[in-house]
Chain A
Amino acid sequence: MASTRKAGPTGHQRHDGILPARTPGTLGINDQGDPNVCALPGGTPGPAGVGDFEPPRFLTSASTPASVLSPADENGRENLEGSAPVVGIGVASVARIRVPGTDYFIELSPRNFPANKSTSALFIQDEAGRRVLRLDYGYNKSSGQVDYHWNQERTFADFGIADHTVAGSTGETLFKAAKVFKYGGRALLILGIAMDAYSIVVAKKRWRQVARVAAGWAGATAGAEYLGAWGAGFGSAEPGGGTAIGGIVGGIVGGFAGYAGASWAVGETYDWVEETYFAPIESEDYSE
């Protein structure tokens, strides 16, 4: 039969001055019920076999570890670690990542209407969509085959990739990854919105949570764009494919880090402001 107590003889465990849960004499004096001493836990609550034999938790009067708070108490300290990768990737999938030193953006949709007709998955293009390098799949007039290839208009001077250049296996991988990233990222974006909305609804400190979520989204956007641009610049050692890979990877990392960092910073700031009290200064009488 399961027990919440360790097997073996009693009275032989040394706990360096920590009293057992139960001691002879009056309950509440020198045992677990005495608030002035540290004592071992007795039988753990809940089903036997779950969380048994855990070391004692030393509680101080001013802080309650999150791990021993009930779910309702925890609302005030709602963590957003779960949202960070979801929102980070989602935001990166719709971010406009600039290629440093140029007016090109790395995007997953064309700028020409209608957007849904394009057979391309990845676009490096200017604001107007007039100059564009895109990774396409379809019949290639140059090779006479259906393949993965680059199409370009007015970008040759910047990337050195001619129209209809076959993209090979790297291009194929990049094309497929970009497709998954585009649609998967949008799905994660919706999931992230739902997760964050739920976290606000159940939060005990609702305004704290609103501030953290808002900061997280702003941080994710800024992070995706900033680190994405850095990645694009780094990846441009291999113009075209390298630019896109660098930009997207940088965007994802930046989105994740931006969300996590900004929401953490705002949470800490909120707590600091909330826990700071200003005592009124006694006024001195200068009338004399």
Chain B
Amino acid sequence: MDTPSPKVMGIRLTTNPRSDMWQAPRATPEFSVFLIGWITKDIPVEAGVPLQAMQVLSESLTRLAVVTFLAKTPTSARLAPNQWHDVGGGWVAVLTRTSSVFSRRHPLPLIATGDSGVAQELFRSSSFDWNQQAQMALLSEPGHPPAIDYDLVEKCLRRSSLTGVIRDLHLLGILYPAVDGDFAALVSSDAGFAEDFQRELRRACQAAQLPFTAISEEEFRRTQWMG
């Protein structure tokens, strides 16, 4: 039986964290990184992003972009591979590549959506576990799903050559789980998008009556996140 989601007491954000302990991509001159954390009232027994944090994050993202993430759907197995298929206001695709003797290539099922409720699934997918950092969200221009390519999406997942991947897939940014999935890291090479995201996150927090603060990395590190 799943335990109730812990109550969120606030959302905090720091820009371009330098420490490796966050297990987030390191900012470069080509892209910036926002690290986002949530304070909970109690110490949760179960791993996972609290419901309120999921809601404010997915609302902020879907207001600005199409969110594409890894998740299996019941129809995934029957789809023609490597192309988008329209499904009720969103899109699904399965990227495949031939495995070689030395490397096994897993199929990558994707869901692209502009719906904040659907986007929350990125934090819940058991096949691509956010808490074990096996998940990501590609953020692209609204109205249509992003260009996709197995190698580029796999690079994205492995967090390698991010500048090139963001450029080649024409992305606005990528959201990654940071350490233990307890934080989210937004990578963006578009300064305007990063600004807009911070504004939308603040707005979503206000709507949910959650305090939102942007702080330095040192303050972020000293934050008591639980209890």
Contacts and interface: CB of A to CB of B under 8 A. Distances in A.
Given A113-B128, A136-B180, A139-B22, A152 B47 contact: yes
Contact of B225 (A113, A118, A144): A144
Interface in B110-133: 126-129, 131-133
B199 interface: no
B157 interface: yes
A138 B46 CA distance: 18
Interface string B39-67: 00001111110000000000000000000
A146 B20 CA distance: 11
B167 interface: no
Contacts of B46: 152-154, 156, 163
Interface string A136-177: 101111101010000111101100001110000000000000
Contacts of B131: 151, 153
A114 B47 contact: no
Contacts of B132: 110, 112, 117-118, 120, 132, 134
Q: How large is the interface on B (under 10, 10 to 19, 20 to 34, 35 or more residues)?
A: 20 to 34
Contacts of A110: 129, 132, 134
A114 B180 contact: no
A128 B126 contact: yes
Contacts of B126: 128-130
Contacts, number: 86
Contact of B158 (A117, A129, A134, A140): A117
Nearest to B158: A114
A269 interface: no
A163 B1 CA distance: 16
B9 interface: no
Interface in B171-185: 179-180, 182-183
A138 B37 CA distance: 16
Nearest to B127: A112
B77 interface: no
Contact of B134 (A112, A140, A142): A112
A139 B1 CA distance: 28
B105 to A, nearest CB: 10
A119 interface: yes
A110 B2 CA distance: 21
A141 B48 CA distance: 12
A136 B23 CA distance: 13
B144 interface: no
Contact of A163 (B22, B45, B222, B225): B45
Contacts of B21: 138-139, 146
A118 B127 CA distance: 14
Interface residues of A, number: 30
B224 interface: yes
A174 B180 CA distance: 19
B180 to A, nearest CB: 6
Nearest to B177: A117
Interface in B1-34: 1-3, 21-23
Interface in B200-217: none
B134 A138 contact: no
Interface in A88-134: 110, 112-114, 117-120, 128-130, 132, 134
Contacts of B133: 117-118
B47 A163 contact: yes
Contacts of B158: 114, 117
Interface string B89-104: 0000000000000000
Contacts of A120: 132
Interface in B54-92: none
Contacts of A132: 129, 132
A37 B1 CA distance: 83
B151 to A, nearest CB: 14
A151 B180 contact: yes
A164 B47 CA distance: 8
B157 A141 contact: no
Contact of B157 (A114, A138, A140, A151): A114
Contact of A138 (B3, B128, B179): B179
Interface of B: 1-3, 21-23, 37, 43-48, 106, 126-129, 131-134, 157-158, 179-180, 182-183, 222, 224-227
Nearest 3 CB-CB pairings of A with B:
A112-B134, A130-B126, A141-B182
Given A128-B126, A154-B46, 13 more contacts: A112-B128, A112-B134, A119-B179, A128-B127, A134-B132, A142-B225, A142-B226, A144-B224, A152-B47, A153-B47, A162-B43, A163-B44, A164-B180
